[in-house]
Structure 1
Amino acid sequence: RPSTYAMILNTIRMREYVQMEKRAFKATPLGLLVNRLLIANFKRVMDIHFTAQMEKQLDEVEAGKLDWQEAVGKFYSDFSKAVKQAEKNMAVPQQETEFRCENCNSKMVLKWSRRKGWFLSCSAYPKCKTAKDVVYDTLGNLKVIEPKKSKITCDKCGKEMVLKQSRYGSFLACSGYPDCRNTKPVRIDKQTGEMIVVKMEEVHETCPRCGSKLVIKLGRSGKFLACSAYPKCTFTKSISIGVNCPQKGCGGYITEKRTRRGKIFYGCSNYPNCKFAVWDKPISQKCPQCGGLMVTKYERGSDRPIYICINKNCGYRTSTIDEKDNGQDGS
C-alpha cells in the first residue's frame, strides 16, 4: 500500500538487501539470496496473486464487509505452517569460488552467517577451518579482505596479531586462529594510523569459577563481564545498570543490550526465563504515584531528559528526579 512504501524502502536499505546506484536501487548479493530463499520456502506469500487477494481483503475489512480476525486467521494458519516447514528445511546455500585455501589448497566456498555476513570458508571444513572475510566492490566483484598486520605479539601464543573488523568496530585477533582465539580491543590513531591496544577495564569482582579478575568486554549484545583467564575459563556475566527487574518474583536485574543491528535496549538478566525489555533506559527511582518502573526519555528537539512511568494506567512524568533515591540497587 502507498502508506507503507517509504517504510519498506527504508527497511530493505537498512538490511542491505539493496544499494543505490545512479539514483536507482540495485539488489545486493544478500538481497538476491533472501529473495531466492523466500520464493523457495514461501511460494504462496511471494505469489503476486496472493498480494492482490490480500489487498482486496484489506479493502473489505476497511469497508466493514469482512471481519479482520477472520482474514488474519485464514492467512496465519497457512503462514505458520510454512514458517515451521522453513525452519526445518531452509538452508543457506554455499557457492563455490575461484579462490583456493592457503592451507590445504581445497576450493573456498562463499557462505553467509548472521554474525559475520559474507565470508569464505574452506570446502574441507571441519577438517580445515580456514576462513576469510570478503566484501563486494561497487561492480559486484568479490574481494578478499586481507587482515592487516599489527606488529603486536599475542600474549597467549607469541604469534603476530592482525587487525580485523566486526560490526562493532576494529579489533586484534591472533593470526594463529583457530588454534589460538585470543582477541584484544584496539583503536586506530587518526593522525598516525598507529594501532593502540585498549586495555580492558577491570572491575572489583573476581570470577566465581577460577578466582581470576573479571573484565568488561563488548559483544554482540553489548557490554558484559568476562573472566580474564579466557579461553581457559569461559565464565561470563551481564552488567547491571543498577535497576532491579520490575517483574514480580523474577529476582533479576536490568542490563544494557543490543539488537542484531546494534540498537541499544534494556532487558532482564534472567532472559529467556524473563522476557522483560524496554527501549528507554530505566532508573532505579520508583514512580511516586504507582510504584512502577520509570524510564528516561528525550523528546524530539530537546537534549533534556524527562522521566516517565511505564505503567500505561499511570502516565506519571517529571523532568526532575531525586538523585539520592536513584542509587544502585541492582546486582
Structure 2
Amino acid sequence: MVIVESPAKAKTVGRFLGKGYTVKASVGHVRDLLRSELSVDIENNFQPKYRVPNEKRAVVKEIKALAKTAEEVYLATDPDREGEAIAWHLLEAAEIDPKIAKRVVFHEITQPAIEEAFSHPRGIDMNLVNAQQGRRILDRLVGYSLSPLLWEKVRSRLSAGRVQSVALRLVVEREREIESFVPQEYWTIQAEFLPEGLQQSFIARLVRINEQEVQLSNEAETQAVVARLEQARYSIARIKRGERRRRPAAPFITSTLQQEASRRLGFTPRRTMMIAQQLYEGLDVGEGGATGLITYMRTDSTNVSELAQREARDYIRQAFGEAFLPPSPPHYRTRAVAAQEAHEAIRPTSVFRVPEKVKPYLTTDQFRLYQLIWQRFVASQMEAAVLDTLAVEVEGKHEDQVYLFRASGSSVRFPGFLVLYEEARDEDQRGGEEEENVRIPAGIQEGQPQRLVRVLPEQHFTQPPPRYTEASLVQALEEYGIGRPSTYAPILSTIQERGYVVRENKRLIPTETGRLVNDLLVQHFPDIVDIGFTARMEEDLDEIASGQRAWTDVIRTFYDSFAPQVKKAQAEIPVSKIDLEPIGRDCPQCGHPLVIRYGRFGKFISCSNFPACRYTEPWLEKLGVACPEDGGDLVIRKTRRGRVFYGCANYPQCQFISWKRPLPTPCPACGGLLVEANKREAQCLRCNETFLLEKVGEKAAESA
C-alpha cells in the first residue's frame, strides 16, 4: 500500500508502480490541533492534543482498514517538513504497524525517480517532524493568545499570527515612509554632441564640474551652468572599451518562482503554487498517462542533479550549438544557510519535453508557468552572454571651468543564454537603463573635437520608496530569513484575506485595520513583530530539523518571555473598541439608523438593529473625483476575487468603471478624466493624451 497526499498524485504514482500496489490519497493532513481550543498542554511540556477532523474520518478509516491487509505500507508524502509530519500523523491516526511502514521520498514524479525512491526506503525522520510540530505549536500559542486580546480590546474578527504580523509590519512601515517622504528638487543636465567629421550625434550626461560631483538643486543654479556650457569647447577626453560577461540566473527556487511569475505573468503567489502543484503531481501529455512535468516546487535549494545537467547539455548542444555550452555544468550557491526543503531546484523533469510540445495538453496558465520554469532552467545551464562595453568622456572648457560629460553603452557580442530567457524586474528596478545604454557613433576617437548641438536640462524630484508588490515582499521575507518556501504564499494570502492589506495596481497597501493591529503589536509585543527575532526563530526550527535542539526547549524559551508580555498587555492595553458610527441614513427595511461596522474584509454598512434586522450594504470609499458620465462620486470597488476597480456610486443607474485609478486633476489638454496609466504617467480617457504624473501633481498644487 502507498499513501500520498492528493488524488492527482495518487493517479500518477499508481501508473508507474503498476499492479500489486494500492495507492491512496490522504488529501492533505489527516490530523491537527483542535480548532475550538488551544490544544497545547502548557503545563505538560507543551504536548499537543491532536484530533482527526470530522471530514477526514472516513479517509482515515479506509486507510486503516487497507493497511491491516497490506504487506508493506509506503508513506510517500511530499519531500519537506510538512510532508514528513503528514507521514507521521498518518502512521499515528491510522494505527499503522511501524514494522511494515516505510518512508519514501522523491522530488519528481517520473518512472526513474519512483523506482529509485522505492528501492531506498527509510524510516520517518522525527527531527523533521518535530521541526514542523514546533512551528505549528509556536503559531498556535501566538495566535490563540493575541487574537482574543484584540477581540476584547479593539473589535471582534481581528487576529494576529507570528510570521504574518512581521509581513504586515513591513507593509505598514513602508507606507509610512511614503507618507512622511518630502520630495526634494534636483536637476540633471545632458548634452547632445556631434563628433567632428561624423554624421551621428550622441547624448552624454554632465557628471563633474572641476572634479566635483554635480549637484544642482534649483532652476536658477542650473540655468547659470547651462549658459556657461554653451560657451565651452569640447573634445573626447577618454574612450574606454571593455568586455562584460553576464551570467544566467540560477534555476528557480520557491521564492524566485513566485517573484518571476508575479512580474512576468501577473500571478499571485497562491496561484503560482496551485498551478505548480498541478505540474508536479502529473498531467497527461500524450505519453500514455499522467506524468510529473516539474520537480517539487517547495524548495530553497538551487542544486541540480547530474542527470538533469547532462540532459540539459545534450538539449542545448542540439538546439543551439556547442558555442552555447559552458566548459563544465554551472553550479549555483544556495542562498539559505540550511536549505531544508526539497534538495533540488525547480526544473522540468525532462528538458526534451519542450513547452510547445506539451502545449496542446495544458491550460493556458499551466503552459505559461511550465514554459517559464523550462526556459529558466535551460538558460541556467547555458553559456554567459558577452557584452562589448564602451564608455566615452567628453571634456568641456570655458575660462577656468572644466566640465566632464559621460556616456556609456554596450552591445551584445555573443548572446549566450539571452537567446532563450532574460529575468524580469519591477518598474522601480529599471531606472537609468536608457541613459546607461547610449548609442555611441562608430569612428569616435580620443582628442576628437565635439560640436555642442544642444543642452538638455531636466527637473526631477526625489521619489519615495516604492510600495511592496507581492514579488518584492516575498523577496524581502526571503532576504530577512522570515518564513520558508511553504509559507510565502500563505503569508501573503492571510494578510489580504484578513483585510489588513489590499492589493491595488499590483501594489500592497495597508488598511486602517492593518495599521491598528500592527501598532498594537509593535507597542506591546515588540519581539513578535521584530524581524531579527522572527529570523532567529527560523534558525531555531532549522536546529530542531537537524537534531541539534529539542523542540520542547525551543518552545519553552519562547513561551517564558512571551507569556508575561501577554499578561502585561492584558492589563495595560485600554479598551478602544470603535463605537458604531451612524452614517445619517435610516435602514430601508426597518427604519433604524444605519451604522458603520467592521468585518473580516473591513468596513461595511449595516442596520443598528442587528441581529433583529440583517440589512447590509457595502461601504463605498470615495475618491473625491466626479464621474465623467453623470457627475456622481467615483468610489473604490472590488470584484468577487478581490481585484480593485473604480466605479460610479450611482451604480447600477450609471455603469462607468475604470481599472485604473482616477485622478482629481482634469486633463490639461481637454479637461477630461485623468487616470494613472502607470507609475510615471497619467492618461486622459477622453483625448488619450499622456502626461507625467509629477507634472499633473504640480498643476494640482497650483490650483490648490
TM-score range for the pair, normalised by the shorter chain length: 0.3 to 0.5
- Higher strand fraction (1 or 2): 1
Larger Rg: 2
TM-score for both structures, normalised by structure 1: 0.38
More relative contact order, 1 or 2 (CA 8 Å, 6+ apart): 2
**Greater helix fraction, Structure 1 or Structure 2:** 2
Q: TM-score, normalised by structure 2?
A: 0.20
